[in-house]
Structure 1
Amino acid sequence: MEVWSTVVSLNTVVTAAGLSIVGETARPGRDVTGIYLVDRADIEAPITSAPGPLRDRLLVLPPALTAPIAATSQEFIASLVASATRQRAAGIVLGGEAESWFIELCSRHGLPLLTQQLDPSAGAKGRGPTLDSLRALVATELRRQFTTSSLAPAADGVDHLARLLRLLDEGARSVGAELHLDIPGALVNPFVTLSPAFRSAALDCPVMAVKDLPYEGRVARVDVGRPGCSLLFTRSVPTAWPHRPVAAVVAACRELVAEAAVSRGTRSMMEHTFMRELITGDSSAVGPWAETLGLPPGCRVTALVINVEDVDSAGCTAVESAVHDAALASLKPAVAATREGRVLALIPRTGSVRDAVLDSALDSLGVRLAPILARPVAIGTSSCVLTAPDDLVHALVSAGQMLDRELYRAETETARTSDTRGLPARMKVPLVAGLLSEEASSTLSDVVLAPLLRNDGRSGSSYVETLRTYLLLDCRMAETAEVLGVHTNTLRYRLQRIEALTGRDLHVTADRVDFYLALTLRDIPHQGSAGVGGNSAMMR
Structure 2
Amino acid sequence: MKLRALLDLPESRLELVTGQDELDRAVRWVVTTDLLEPGRYLRGGELVLTGLVWRSGPADSETFVRALAAAGASALAGGLARGALPDDLVAACRAHRMPLFAVAEDVAFATITEEVVRHLSGARAADLTAVLDRHRRLVADAGGGGTGLGAVLELVSGDLGMRCWVLAPTGRLVAGPEPVPDGADLARAFLTARRLPRPHAGVSVFPVAGEATPRVADWFLACEGDVDDWSVERRALATELASIVALERARLDDRLSVGGRLAQELVRLVAAAAGAEEIAPRLELSGLDAAARFAAVAASGGGALRPGELRAVLGEVLGEVPAAPRPVLGLLDEEAVALVQVEGAGRDLAGEIQPALDALAPGFADGGGLAVGVSDVVPAGELRGAVEEARYARRLAAGRAAPVCVVRHDELATHVLLLASVPDDVRHMFRVRLLDPLRTYDDVHKADLVRTLETFLQNSGSWARCAEQLHLHVNSVRYRIQRIEDLTGRDLSRLEDRVDFFLALRLG
Tell which structure's C-alpha radius of gyration is larger.
Answer: 2
TM-score bracket relative to the smaller structure = 0.3 to 0.5
TM norm structure 1 = 0.38
Which one scores higher on RCO, CA 8 angstroms, separation ≥ 6?
Answer: 1
TM norm structure 2 = 0.40
